Amino acid sequence: MVKTKDMRSFGVEEELLLVDAKTGALAPVSEQLLGEEPSSGSKTPRAEGPAGGYAGALVPELKQEQLEAVSAPYRDLRKLAAGLRAGRAEADRQAKRFGARAVALGTYPMPAVTQLVRRPRYLAMEGRYGLTLREQLTCGFHVHVGVASDDEAVAVLDRIRVWLPILLALSGNSPYWQGTDSGYASFRYQVWKRWPTAGPTDLFGSPSAYHSLVRVLLDCDVLLDEGMVYFDARLSRRQPTVEIRVADVCLEADHAAALAGMCRALVETAAREWLDGRPPPAVPTELLRLASWRANKSAVTDDLIHPLRNGRCPARSAIGALFNHIGPVLAETGDLEPIKHLASRIVRTGTGSDRQRAVFARHSKLTDVVFDAVRRTHLPAAHL
């Protein structure tokens, strides 16, 4: 087994909704919450943090009805899982001061009008993107995995792209939009694709090609800045990491931690393939768009596109291919059994979207969906 100190570092960013603790309505309190909490608002968390203290950071997001919990970087999966739960707990603790709760939902189920965080960048986005910006209230899950260089990072991007739809399928947690069942497991992904650069990417081949493309995109004067390069996976602007951004925020913390473990294993596997001189799968981006559509439509309840055979297959087969691919690395880090168990549980019992629909089917009230999600957001550790 690989020693912990030799494992790649990884950390997560979870976007969370803020809802009224009594009514379940959206609670536009993030500016108050972060403005009164001087230790929050920085996106530079402490590494591994002190025992008994939250090592991460709470930072604002686009709307006042949400915030982001940014974990410290970790090398051990169980420590990351504990840090992730601590971020949810800290967000909830701060929200309670204003009569609200923090909840891990990819979209808000009920009809609502949202309020923009009044920062210059967000105001500029509103002026440029209009309704797309005003309607934007989605919560994603971003995993940062450490890399040694730009060469390694771009090699990783080219080799993980075919696997990202499976991560989307395992995370689906946004079936409702403005009071209506969208018919999708991840309607967040549908909404997110309104942005000009969102979605899968072509093969880059080299760091120079990646950075050249980003410069061209910026020169077209459609994006405000490099932060709006919303690829499903990209190079981080601030840290030596690959940032995998395809997933919904997961309803349960254990599921989120398992997804983060899969991301790290994908990056390590891809880096080894690059060092061994193995070329990336030459899958057309158009096919990846279809794979992503199937993943966000039905998650694990219907067929997916096989990441290597490029054809329709049962979800179990696609997920099985993922574990055949990353299993050796997960075994080395000691994470194979818990992550495989959690993935099997998701396939067996469903994702967060299935849970939301089951609650609505029993009660016919979307408020019950919200309150059930609050409870499940803060479940204690069961597997990680």
Task: Identify whether 183 is part of a domain.
Answer: yes
Q: Domain total for the chain? A: 1
- Residue 36: pLDDT band (50, 70, 90) is low
> What is the phi/psi pair of residue 383, to 5°?
-125, -25
Task: Identify whether 237 is part of a domain.
Answer: yes
Using DSSP, state whether 310 is helix, strand or coil. coil
Q: Which long-range contacts (CB under 8 A, 24 or more apart) does 35-40 make?
A: 36/97, 37/94, 40/94
Task: Identify whether 307 is part of a domain.
Answer: yes
pLDDT of residue 37: 47
What Cα–Cα distance (Å) separates residue 377 from each residue in 100, 278, 298, 363?
Answer: 14, 40, 22, 19
For residue 125, the tally of other CB atoms under 10 A from its CB is 21
Nearest by Cα to 259 from 108, 379, 142, 102: 142
- Residue 5: pLDDT band (50, 70, 90) is confident
For residue 98, the tally of other CB atoms under 10 A from its CB is 16
> What is the phi/psi pair of residue 291, to 5°?
-60, -40
Task: Identify whether 354 is part of a domain.
Answer: yes
Task: Identify whether 384 is part of a domain.
Answer: no
pLDDT of residue 382: 82
Q: How many CA atoms lie within 13 A of 113 on its CB side?
A: 0
| For range 311-329, the mean pLDDT | 97
Give the containing element (helix H, strand E) for 18: strand 10-20
pLDDT of residue 87: 97
For the stretch 198-222, pLDDT in tens is: 999 999 999 999 999 999 999 999 9
Residue 249: both structure tokens together: 């925020």
pLDDT above 50: residue 92: yes
First vs last Cα of the chain: how many Å apart? 18
The percentage of the chain sitting over the pLDDT mark of 90, rounded to a whole number, equals: 91
| For range 127-155, the mean pLDDT | 97
Domain ranges, residue 104: 4-377
Contact between 45 and 55 under an 8 Å Cβ cutoff? The reply is yes
pLDDT of residue 53: 59
pLDDT above 80: residue 232: yes
Q: Which residue has the tokens 């158009």?
A: 286
The percentage of the chain sitting over the pLDDT mark of 70, rounded to a whole number, equals: 95
For the stretch 289-319, pLDDT in tens is: 999 999 999 999 999 999 999 999 999 999 9
Task: Identify whether 382 is part of a domain.
Answer: no
For the stretch 336-372, pLDDT in tens is: 999 999 999 999 999 999 999 999 999 899 999 999 9
- Between 225 and 3, residue with greater pLDDT: 225
For the stretch 243-292, pLDDT in tens is: 999 999 999 999 999 999 999 999 999 999 999 999 999 999 999 999 99
Global confidence as pTM: 0.95
Task: Identify whether 170 is part of a domain.
Answer: yes
CA dihedral 151, 154, 159, 164 (to 10 degrees): 150
Least confident range from 44-53, 99-108, 329-338: namely 44-53
Tell me the CATH number at 102: 3.30.590.20
pLDDT above 60: residue 179: yes
Task: Identify whether 62 is part of a domain.
Answer: yes
For the stretch 40-49, pLDDT in tens is: 444 555 444 3
Rounded CA-CA distance 162/185 in Å is 20
Q: Which long-range contacts (CB under 8 A, 24 or more apart) does 267-270 make?
A: 267/8, 267/145, 267/147, 267/156, 267/160, 267/242, 268/8, 268/329, 269/159, 269/325, 269/326, 269/328, 269/329, 270/155, 270/156, 270/158, 270/159, 270/160
pLDDT of residue 350: 96
| For range 19-47, the mean pLDDT | 76
Rounded CA-CA distance 148/337 in Å is 28
- Residue 2: pLDDT band (50, 70, 90) is confident
- Between 5 and 175, residue with greater pLDDT: 175
